[in-house]
A and B are shown apart, each in its own frame.
Chain A
Amino acid sequence: MSTQPEPDPGAHPALDRQDIAHLARLARLAVTDEELDRFAGQLGAVLDAVARVQRADAGDVVPTTHAVPLTNVLRPDVVTPCLPRDVVLAGAPAAEDGRFRVPRILGEEE
């Protein structure tokens, strides 16, 4: 779906510690220095293996995103019962005033 230019499929860029750190931030994963090193090595090897998909001659091939040939699966606009609020909040790590309590937010609303 991306319209960005493709990287050269022949030589995929190796993932260094900095790349892993960036991806981990995007994925909200705190990683230790030790993990950074380990992941950089392991993911490099995995990436080498998966980069083989680029060898497929698949220029005009339509991608398969769904394994079932279904379209227009819709439900009627009908209200169904909700969960009781005490049940909803019982599973929450923290709740207050009928709401989920979360730590302070620094970033802007999307």
Chain B
Amino acid sequence: MSETLVDLDDVLTRYEPVIGLETHVELGTESKMFCGCSTTFGAEPNTQTCPVCLGLPGSLPVANAAAIESTIRIGLALGCRIAAWSRFARKNYFYPDIPKGFQTSQYDEPLCTAGHLDVEVDGQTYRVEIERVHLEEDTGKNLHVGGATGRIHGADHSLVDFNRAGIPLVEIVTRPVPGTGAKAPEVARAYVTELREIIQTLGASDVRMEQGSLRCDVNTSLAPVGSLEWGTRTETKNVNSLRSVERAVRYEMRRQAAVLDAGGRVVQETRHFHEDTGSTSPGRSKEEATDYRYFPEPDLVPLAPDAEWVEKLAADLPELPAARRTRLQQEWGLSGTEMTWLVNAGALGLVEQTVAAGASPAEARKWWLGELARRANDAGVELADLAVTPAQVAELTALVAEGTINDKLARQALDGVLAGEGDPRAVVAARGLAVMGESDELVAAVDAAIAGAPDVVEKVRGGKVQALGALVGAVMKTTRGQADAATVRRMLEERVLSS
């Protein structure tokens, strides 16, 4: 499947992209949306079901208060208007993973409308308008059996697990976002990143894309530069990582440009994203347009959040990521670019906690963006997943500041911490990492170095002071790095230059 693609730079000389995103977030409630079944991830199939979430005859839904509150809080965090009157509706269609023959969702009366989210890409702010935030229920999961690939096509039959069916799902729909030009892929990614962080801050969901608790559909269209009308959009489904969001938009821009360049028309369709190739392919088109026959769910009564309730939820919102970033940037005296690095590295919270544990902001940043980022990179894990806590990092910086260890010893101490040997102070003690004082042992090592390299001593005395470095190195080597380099240099200078 090698499709003609236009270079991205080339695309932008002729076309303007418009993007749009629909994001589904599984809420982190204890129980499901309309029944008391547990939502714990990873349970044995069909062990977290009951008559309600299996859609058994006679069962009835009752809405989860925590899910309603989470949805309102997400709406508030996105600056939405909270509806004074909202209803659930039935979206009627047949699919084996929806147990009732309809999905309980919201249609023309969603809980939250008309919000926005500002995202920053390369120092420029883009406003993404939010059309609606509504609440619905997740589907079960199909496992396709018999085909070569475990994919739906060619499968002999499928197996359905309803553990996930009925988990509360918030859908956040943007309005079309024009005017992002070449930055369209990055804006899409930045939007999902920021949205994810907001929801995490709210504690509304663990937003783990790899576990499917945050899922994205990405809409992309192109219009000829200068055109007043937008082009036909495609909807790319199942884009399940931040990187893929960016890649999906980029791919669709390049593909659609090629179609338009060839005089063709972009087909309004659903497309699937392929992680392996970074490409999209068309979904199987249905012979008949789906008619969901939405109508108000008669088994659930309307939601009418009163002002008092909404105000209380608003008052209890935590500090949101953007506000927090502004505050920390000021407190730490960082430039905008420095702040962006910190955020992009996923180190903001870690640095904040390290500072809270007593480190200076500069030291905390140095550690997390330097040594620790390297270690994470080498191990192929996220910074946050390293086996070291912000408190331990703060302890390392304290040990260096008080002169107990130097930077090199600190790195050895970190090895010990990561190896599970305990807190830095314990590792320093156990491994005997403390810096050597002006001890007899050090004096002996200095004297031995001078005695062992008369030629170097000659050079130094002859005015090539920088040659002293070789002697420092020799001393550090015999002391296995445990001496303080500055002390060693001072002792060498005293002995070589003054005699």
**CB–CB B157/A103 < 8 A:** yes
Binary contact track A1-20/B, C-beta < 8 Å → 1, others 0? 11100000000000000000
CA distance A89 to B108 in the complex (A): 37
Partner of A79, one of B31, B139, B144, B298: B31
**CB–CB B46/A100 < 8 A:** yes
Closest B residue to A22 using CB positions: B288
Report the minimum CB–CB distance from B163 to chain A (whole Å): 9
Q: Which residues of B contact A96 (CB under 8 A)?
A: 145, 159
**CB–CB B298/A66 < 8 A:** yes
Binary contact track B280-312/A, C-beta < 8 Å → 1, others 0? 000110101001011110101111110000000
Partner of A110, one of B29, B49, B95, B291: B95
Binary contact track A24-56/B, C-beta < 8 Å → 1, others 0? 011010000000000000000000000000000
Q: Which residues of B contact A103 (CB under 8 A)?
A: 157-158
Q: How many A-B residue pairs have CB under 8 A?
A: 152
CA distance A3 to B294 in the complex (A): 11
Does B37 touch A at the CB level, under 8 Å?
yes
**CB–CB B94/A71 < 8 A:** no
Closest A residue to B34 using CB positions: A75
**CB–CB A99/B160 < 8 A:** yes
Does B68 touch A at the CB level, under 8 Å?
yes
**CB–CB A74/B64 < 8 A:** yes
Partner of B157, one of A79, A82, A102: A102
- Among A77, A88, A96, A107, max chain B CB count under 10 A is at A77
Could you list which residues of chain B lie within 8 angstroms of chain A, going by C-beta atoms?
29-31, 35-38, 44-51, 54, 62-68, 87, 89, 93-98, 103, 107-108, 139, 142-146, 152, 155-162, 237, 270, 283-284, 286, 288, 291, 293-296, 298, 300-305
Could you list which residues of chain A lie within 8 angstroms of chain B, going by C-beta atoms?
1-3, 22, 25-26, 28, 65-66, 68, 70-83, 85, 88-89, 96-110
**Cβ-closest 9 pairs across A and B:** A80-B36, A77-B66, A99-B159, A74-B65, A71-B304, A70-B301, A100-B160, A65-B296, A98-B45
